[in-house]
Chain A
Amino acid sequence: MSAHKSQYIERYNTAERLNHWVTAITFILLILSGFSLFHPALFWLTNLFGGGPWTRILHPFIGVVMFGSFASLALRFWHHNILSKNDIQWLKQIPDVIQNFEDRLPEVDRYNAGQKLLFWTMIATIPTLFITGIIIWQPWFTPWFPRNVDRFAVLLHALCAFIMSTGIIVHVYAAIWVKGTMRAMVRGTVERAWVKKHHPGWYKRLEQGRDH
């Protein structure tokens, strides 16, 4: 790299950020509309969408948009999310992670093991939600499927929604917890010191002039 070091390093380009936020916005709409039918205590959330029938009508369409948006995001990021030996060690040291003893952890590249696991959790749940969602999509697709397939689909849909939502709670909290992270997805850049501290492996590769 040149002698002049800028304070900021680009982590996500504009297309990646827009793609992430389309996914995030549709995710929030899906959580609000989906969870309104998940438990009676949350049925009032249907009011945000114009009532029960409108919630039922809109939810699957938003789901299709999210699935498409997530598929694009997955194609962009999957190759950064292959688990390595370091990641296994990182996961064994979860107590250190939680207590902010980051210096004790093995070297992290562009993503840490927690981020990678979140990625694969989404890879497992979102396509399952898409397929089961098609099966239970009234009035069009459900009549094509045997009743027990339909019952299994609705059960799996709820289960995957729970797993995905819990994953996203962790994802959002991690962004609040690790300061300086939010601007990666908002502005596209992170501070040089942030990269050195949280992603030293990636920093080394950047210093060597290799692509990120």
Chain B
Amino acid sequence: MALQSLDIWRRSATTTEPPQQRVAMEVAKLIDVTKCIGCKACQSACQEWNDLREEVGINVGSYQNPHDLTANSWTLMRFAETEANGHFEWLIRKDGCMHCADPGCLKACPSPGAIIQYKNGIVDFAEENCIGCGYCIKGCPFNVPRLSEKDSKVYKCTLCSDRVAVGLEPACIKACPTQALVFGSKEDMKDHAAGRIAELKERGFDNAGLYDPQGVGGTHVMYVLHHADQPELYSDLPKDPHISPMVALWKGVTKPLALLAMAGAVLGGFFHYIGIGPNEVEEEEEVS
């Protein structure tokens, strides 16, 4: 076994269970968007820790930089402006992998062990096993994985699994100057969020709440939102994310059934040959 803190819970394209005996604590990152000042320290810390460098881009009149998640930018501050609640609001959300309890990427991946979910809830890509098919991108309900133009492998936030494995917090957490980002056990993070939500409600944010969508079994990255009833205001955070029914059908029971049907067809042919036999031209027919 590998490090206990990185015991594997689920593994892509694997039909038997990885070792299940040991139990581990589920971890979570809590992003309190109401405390975020959009400084992008988390973005920089992510690049630094993970040895990534984003290319210098162009400014199109938004603080959002780069414009989207890329194979080099595993987290991104998204800046949204809205007047949906009667007054102007500037809503900033740190985007990145949500580390779903039921990960669509892992469900879609055809390569054994290219996507793994640790016992602590972190969903990690093992790029050396990635074949570059892009199925995880189809599987993800949050539009997170990015295919690299450099090597045709897919990259995303690892929740700093290498740091967490040795008892450290993820790099983004360490860099956050306002403690908008906190990290710990999932239970502790929920408790922490509950306190914050109560404070926000006192301040008049009646719809403040926790974003831990149950459609994907809950996530190991959660948000505290002032408008938990309108997550889409935060740069299109999905209201009820779930694995697409098309992906579920494609990767569900249909494939084993299809294999069984094809094996049945082959076997049917064989038994027909044994039972009824070939269709041959008779001797007398040949003479005529």
Contacts and interface: CB of A to CB of B under 8 A. Distances in A.
A40 B130 CA distance: 14
A124 interface: no
Interface residues of A, number: 48
A177 B261 contact: no
Interface in B137-153: 137-138, 143, 147, 149, 152
A150 B255 contact: no
A12 B281 CA distance: 20
A74 interface: no
B278 A179 contact: yes
A28 to B, nearest CB: 14
Nearest to A162: B258
B240 to A, nearest CB: 16
B131 A52 contact: yes
Interface stretch (A63-71, A82-90, A94-102, A204-212): A94-102
Scoring B250, B256, B266, B277 by chain A CB atoms within 10 A of each residue's CB, the highest score goes to: B250
A72 to B, nearest CB: 27
Nearest to B149: A139
Contacts of A173: 265-266, 269, 272-273
A165 B273 contact: no
Given A43-B13, A193-B285, A194-B281, A169 B266 contact: yes
Contact of B286 (A40, A169, A193): A193
A154 B261 contact: no
Given A178-B279, A197-B281, A41 B246 contact: no
B131 A99 contact: no
A136 interface: yes
B152 A40 contact: no
Given A56-B132, A152-B246, 18 more contacts: A37-B131, A41-B15, A41-B259, A43-B112, A46-B131, A53-B132, A138-B132, A138-B133, A139-B132, A142-B137, A151-B138, A151-B244, A158-B254, A166-B265, A173-B273, A176-B278, A193-B288, A194-B281
Interface of A: 37-43, 46, 51-53, 55-57, 98-100, 102, 136, 138-139, 142, 147-148, 150-152, 154-155, 158-159, 162, 165-166, 169-170, 173, 176-180, 191, 193-194, 196-198
List the 6 closest A-B pairs by CB distance, nearest first. Answer: A52-B131, A173-B269, A40-B13, A37-B110, A138-B134, A151-B246
